[in-house]
Each structure stands twice: as structure tokens, then as C-alpha cells.
């Protein structure tokens, strides 16, 4: 469970760190990044909120730290940033590479039940049951003030993990999420491989179906989603309209912003990240953070 510090870099008065640890849940070494705001800010505030960011296919624990430009925003908000790797590495799984074919190896932020994936593909349990408790123990994180966000496959993960673990995550947002994976080719391929053919199991990891099954609004302070209208995956794979309909059905406040001209990449994420940091900071501060 011990965290091994791989590297640390001064950044906007704080520190961008990269870690590895031997994961019991995954059964392999897993990597993650952490950005800590300047130490005087942390000392003044004590335990501070944290935002978990889940990246998408072909990404690693380095992608968000290097491409999003989030550190300056986190300093201003007084928030710790956590970015886990997206998938197990080194399992010698079929087709294993840095560029997983969607649905064959990409972590998808769930616990697989089917072979050959069940042994190591336990991304949900790693993040929720192992990584976050470890970080709360080792770093000045307020365990009742943790938000979650993500992009693409990571947007799917952010929405589903938030809906499945509202006791862990107090705020949620997403960029271009796979909003209803049971109704898109990427999701069908991933769920068939990881969960088998029981579609009742699939529904447990579909944000739109999870929201529709809620008896009330699980996040009354609101959910923020940004989607580019020039995103080549929008119509076939992402399908935010299903999540929008489910939120309306249960009275869940949702700000789904559609942006002309923006595609699926990190120029899009950079453009609207400040609003997401502010969204999480507002909600986490409203929980009593001083």
C-alpha cells in the first residue's frame, strides 16, 4: 500500500507529483498523479478538498497534468488534484498496449467479472476502496469533500462512480462523457467483454440508466457537463441526450452546455476547465469548508 514517489516538480508555487504503489485490488503496480497547492495555503486551511480527474482512452496518469493546465486553477481554488492511470498495465493481457482498442483493455472504471479480465481489471475498487483511502491517509485531504470529473471514457467513469458512490463523491462534472454506454458501440463492446451478456449488469454502469433509476436528485447542487458539437464521436458514441432526459425525469439539476466548433480533444477541455474547477470548489466549500 506504500506510495512510491517517482518524481516531483515545482508548479505555480505548489508541487506536481507522480506516484506508484502496489495495488492489492488490481494485483499490479498502479500509477497516479497528485498536484498539491502551495504549502502555506495547505497549512492555513488544514484538510483541503480534492478533485479526482479520470482521463480517457490512450491516456495515462500524466495526461491531465501535462495537457489541461489545471494547476494554476487548483492553486486559486485551494484544491488538491488527483489523476489515476486509466487502465492496468503489465498484465500481459490480449492486445495490451498504451493505445487500447476501445473495449479491449481500456479500464472503463469498473470491476470486470469475465475472464481474462476479472483478475486485474478492478478499476472501480482500486479508485474507491484503495487509492482514495490511501491518499486521505497520506495527504491533507478532507475525506468528506472529494469531487470527481473526467473526459470521454473518464467522463463515463466520473458520472457512474459518482452515482454509485455518492457517499464518497460530493460533486461531479464531465467533459464529453460516454453518457449511455449500453446504447453505443464502445460500451457494448466493453461491457460484453468485461461483464458478459447479462444486460442487468451493464445497467449498473450506465450513467443514464443509473440516473433514471434514482428516486430523487442524487446531486441537488447540480451536475456540469460540457460537450463540443464538432466532436466526431458525439452522435454514435457519447449520446448526452439520454443523460439529459434521465436528469429531467428525476429532477436532477443539470447544466449541459453544447459548444459549437469544439471537438473531443484537450483544447476543448482546457477551454472550459476553469468552470469545472469553480463548480467543484463552490459545492465543496458549501459543505462547510473554510
CB 151 within 8 A of CB 86: no
216 is catalytic: no
Catalytic residue among 23, 33, 149, 152: 152
Quote the Cα angle for 227-231-234, to 5°.
Answer: 75
275 is catalytic: no
CA 6/CA 16 separation, integer angstroms:
11
Mention every residue, 6+ apart, whose C-beta is less than 8 A from residue 166: 218, 219
CA 164/CA 70 separation, integer angstroms:
26
280 is catalytic: no
CA 37/CA 187 separation, integer angstroms:
36
CB neighbours (10 Å) of residue 230? 12
CA 89 to chain centre: 18
CA 53/CA 261 separation, integer angstroms:
24
Which parts of 78-131 fold into alpha helices (H)? 123-125
CB 162 within 8 A of CB 169: yes
Catalytic residue among 21, 151, 205, 264: 264
Catalytic residue among 231, 276, 279, 280: 231
Q: Which three cell numbers stand for residue 78?
A: 485551494
Element of type H or E holding 224: strand 223-228
CB 205 within 8 A of CB 191: yes
Backbone angles phi, psi at 150, to 5 degrees: 180, 170
Report, as residue numbers or ranges, the catalytic residues. 152, 231, 264
Amino acid at each position: 500500500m506504500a506510495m512510491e514517489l517517482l518524481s516531483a516538480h515545482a508548479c505555480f508555487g505548489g508541487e506536481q507529483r507522480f506516484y506508484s504503489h502496489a495495488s492489492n485490488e488490481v494485483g499490479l503496480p498502479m500509477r497516479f498523479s497528485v498536484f498539491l497547492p502551495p504549502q502555506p495555503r495547505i497549512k492555513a486551511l488544514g484538510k483541503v478538498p480534492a478533485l479526482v480527474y479520470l482521463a480517457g482512452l490512450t491516456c495515462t496518469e500524466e495526461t491531465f497534468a501535462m495537457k489541461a493546465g489545471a494547476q494554476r486553477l487548483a492553486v486559486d481554488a485551494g484544491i488538491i488534484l488527483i489523476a489515476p492511470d486509466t487502465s492496468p498495465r503489465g498484465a500481459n493481457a490480449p492486445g495490451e498496449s498504451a493505445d487500447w482498442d476501445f473495449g479491449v483493455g481500456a479500464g472503463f472504471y469498473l470491476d470486470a467479472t469475465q475472464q481474462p479480465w476479472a483478475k486485474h481489471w478492478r478499476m472501480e475498487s482500486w479508485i474507491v476502496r484503495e487509492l482514495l483511502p490511501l491518499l486521505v491517509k497520506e495527504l491533507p485531504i478532507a475525506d468528506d469533500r472529494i469531487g470527481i470529473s473526467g473526459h470521454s471514457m473518464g467522463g463515463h467513469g466520473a458520472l457512474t462512480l459518482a452515482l454509485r458512490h455518492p457517499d464518497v463523491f460530493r460533486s461531479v462534472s464531465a467533459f464529453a462523457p460516454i453518457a449511455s454506454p449500453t446504447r453505443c458501440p464502445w460500451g457494448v463492446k466493453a461491457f460484453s467483454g468485461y461483464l458478459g451478456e447479462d444486460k442487468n449488469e451493464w445497467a449498473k454502469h450506465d450513467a443514464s440508466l443509473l440516473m433514471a433509476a434514482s428516486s430523487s436528485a442524487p446531486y441537488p447542487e447540480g451536475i456540469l457537463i460540457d460537450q463540443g458539437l464538432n466532436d466526431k464521436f458525439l452522435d454514435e458514441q457519447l449520446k448526452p441526450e439520454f443523460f439529459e432526459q434521465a436528469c429531467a425525469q428525476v429532477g436532477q439539476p443539470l447544466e449541459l452546455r453544447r459548444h459549437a466548433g469544439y471537438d473531443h480533444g484537450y483544447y476543448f477541455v482546457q477551454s472550459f476547465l476553469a468552470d469545472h474547477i469553480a463548480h467543484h470548489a463552490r459545492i465543496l466549500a458549501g459543505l462547510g469548508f473554510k
